[in-house]
Amino acid sequence: MANIYVGNGSCYNIHRGYFVKQGRTIYEVVGILYLLLRDLRRGRTYNHECREIKMTSTLFRKRVRYLYTIYSRKLPRKYRAQLKKLLTYVLKKKKLPRSFTWRSKRIYTKSILRKAITRGAVIL
């Protein structure tokens, strides 16, 4: 059973060549949310066996709520309110707040295909 979004062995890294860098910060959650929103727009995602499946709004909501379950344990207590506010915003608006948008693209979603980026290929 593979992780879908986080780490080198994630399904996203296997199929798409990029992943969310592992670290216990709120920005790891932002990177995952960016990929979840991308999946929702595409209409496709991966399951834990790394098979492509349909991304429905119900599955999107379940995955966003599951992020709170996981990261409320991992993050320090002082960030839980910020995490809940962020996830509620994403569930309601189906987009990231402006203050987090650039961070999810440039810092916390890492790519292993650096040669493709330098050659002008668009990965994200």
Task: Note whether 29 and 97 are within 8 A (CB).
Answer: no
CA dihedral 56, 60, 63, 69 (to 10 degrees): -140
Give the chain's length.
124
User: Does an H or E element contain 18, and which?
Assistant: strand 18-20
Q: What pTM was estimated for this model as a whole? A: 0.80
Alpha-carbon distance of 45 to 84, in angstroms, equals 24
Chain segment 16-38, per-residue pLDDT in tens? 888 888 876 777 888 889 899 99
The residues near 84 (Cβ < 8 Å, ≥ 6 apart) are: 68, 72
Q: Residue 122: pLDDT above 60?
A: no
What is the pLDDT, as a whole number, of residue 74?
A: 87
How do the domains of the chain map onto residue ranges?
A: 11-118
